[in-house]
Structure 1
Amino acid sequence: MSYRSRMLVLLVVDICIIWVAIATSYLFRFDGNIPPLYESQMLVFAFVTTVICGVSLAFFRMYRRMWQYASIGEIVELVKAIVIGIALTYIATYLLHGVRVPLSITSRTLEIMLLFMGGSRFLWRLIRVNRTKKAELTNNVLVVGAGDCGALIAKEMMTNNSFSGNRLVGFVDDDPYKRNMQVVGLPVLGDRTKIEEMVCTHQIHDIIIAMPSVKRTNISDIINICKLTGAKVKIIPSINDLITGHLAVETLRNVEVEDLLGRDPVKIDLEGIADYVSDKVVLVTGAGGSIGSELSRQIASFNPSRLLLLGHGENSIYTIEMELRSKYPQVQLETVIADIQDRSRMDDVFNRFRPQVVFHAAAHKHVPLMERNPSEAVKNNVFGTKNVADCADKYKVERFVMISSDKAVNPSSIMGATKRIAEMYIQSINTISETQFVAVRFGNVLGSRGSVIPRFKEQIAAGGPVTVTHPDMVRYFMTIPEAVQLVIQAGSFAKGGEIFILDMGQPVRILDLAQDLIRLSGYEPNVDIEINFSGMREGEKLFEELLTDEEAVTSTQHERIYIGKPQQINRAELELQFKRFEKVLGESQSSVRDVIEHLVPFYSHVS
């Protein structure tokens, strides 16, 4: 039924209710025998009420509301419209007819109109809800959280067609005062400790976590309980959905591994960051990669005077450029297709654009690939970093922030060793440069290209098996956005020469990660999806570290950023080893390894 048709039907129903209410009020008042004087008054009262109450109902938008979603707010507005309409009608009828309408008739008319007008509207809501309930119910649903968010989700499920076929069984809430109470007509069945029992008892198919304002650690605990039940788990993304009014069935998303980390959102000092990024020319190398592209997104939000996106792959640079032009049209973007290994090209870029802040994210990062191609790792991670750093020094860049890795600590891989050499170089150049050179070291990021999470998801989608290298392998993990936020924040603390270390939380066992992903996909590990152990790959360690034994750590203003004590770097020795690198790059790969072993004392190759 169209909007105009619904409005017309509702208007006709309201007019009928008005006339019925007035006629019955007069009949009750005079015991079915209305005196002639009051017959004419009744007709005047009826016509005046129809006009004035109709206008009042329209003024309060009673014909522009979706009554299948009606709640207390709609009841209040309806009462206002009718009471004001009747009050004005009472006065107008007296002025037109000259005889006051008996108060008993007025009050009874008001009561009947409230009852029938409210009833007709809520009857429509009831019909819609029952129609949804009568649909074929295939899935039982449990909502965790019986607060405002949980109640809104329950109402959406009862009225939204996109949730047809689902039956909400009840709620889970840790608040003891809500125990055995009802929310929107459904029971609060118990606290989180009862979730597994409820899933079995009520044959729950889906669990919805509706607690957007609760700390991430609590959410993580609840997810850990839910994932053992075999039910599919969905979650409301954030409290912003409540604030902005975007909360709906469509905002539900599947629980991801990120939710299991149990860390609260990163708090950043916007003013401190704006001081060194806003209205500056900022260069991001490797801007098409996972970290580089997120750096570009977040830097764009601080309104740099110009943002330079430098990368070797044209497709990835084009993709991030189009995204940023759409989201941040006010930011002046420059795309630069260049290889950081090309010294003259880097000099040209710096000479032309004169960046004031550089975020160096370009690097080869895949451990097994670099083990088989050490010369390429040296060319990109060592000499590429040297080229960019030398240009930053030459053209007097204010601040240079290099993205490093936990694999640079006591490295067992070529990739880690080359990252450590890059750290050493920027620490050494910092001692002779006006530019503030710093590095930021952190572990794996969830969802980056070539990382374990996308690989596991592909294997699960293909039906398995999921391959894990070793049952005891552990890694530090962080989401890409929170890692980048901390990188930018660390840059604001730079004095020159520091290696900033990000608090990665507790290390995660890769086997646990694989099992969690399988369960969150609705399968049972080693029942529906097999897990195979492939053995450790070349260059890998069972666990990673964030500090060497020689690096003491000090805190910063930010609770999740620390500073590793700068080590003394012999610049002359470093330059000598770089010359040795240049000589052996065209020779055998073993010669490259020999130079690395000499330059990085802590490097221990794991075969």
Structure 2
Amino acid sequence: MSWTLLFVYRNVMFEEGTWSDWQICFEDDRFSLGLAIIPVFWLGVHAIAGMYLKPLKRHRILEVGQVTWTTLVGVLVLFFALLLDDAIVSYKQYYASLSVLLLGHWTFTLFGRLVITTRTVKKIHSGKWSFPTLVIGGNERAVKTIEEINGLRKHPGYAFKGFLQANGADTALEQFMPNLGKVDSLESVIETHEIEEVIIAIGSGDHAILESVLNVLEGMAVEVRIIPDIYDILSGSVRMSSIYGAPLIEIDRQIMPQWQRSLKRAMDWV
């Protein structure tokens, strides 16, 4: 849409056409070439930026940030690749073309993604959509965290399937969810209940148990979060995650940035 808008604008402003003559754009070979190439180009840019990953975990601030920087980078690439050699009367026409393409793509893309993301967030906040969640640990700190999560005005998206005891004595969570056994059965419980989120609520003194749990979770496709009280144990390897208002810290197990992982995956395919 932004590519079409650009060519219609150039026809009206630079070539003395009219807005009703927009069909003339289809006679331009570069316009047709752009319609074939540019959608694929933007799909690649957005994939590298990780904009298609975890669609249910996205939020509006993230959309604004990613759409803005991908638009800046992508439009500059398109401008220098396809528009810089145009015959112009004044250099101001370059600025005008760049501005139309930039604002057009940013507006259309952001509007569409915000509509989808807003709909997704509303369904999660209303409880219509949720993520199967397992809690590891059942001490008083875990109870306080679960009570805080359940007391949020907007549903954070957790569907608690149960909890696992970390040391055999932490059963305080039984009043909120089923007791699924001990932490030794972590892997089988995740597979049986199709767990997508794991909340670690282990006491700060159980370092050995925490290390064992993280080793098991390392190779599993689950999101791992911990209660803030044990943040110092994992200093430097976690990032705050409060998209849906939950007071938790998400463990980022990916060493490489998303754009590097996407490029590496593309190179592996080639």
Higher Cα Rg, which structure:
1
Tell me which of the two structures has the higher relative contact order, counting C-alpha pairs closer than 8 angstroms and 6 or more residues apart.
2
* Structure whose residues are more often helix by fraction: 2
TM-score (norm: length of structure 1): 0.20
TM-score (norm: length of structure 2): 0.41
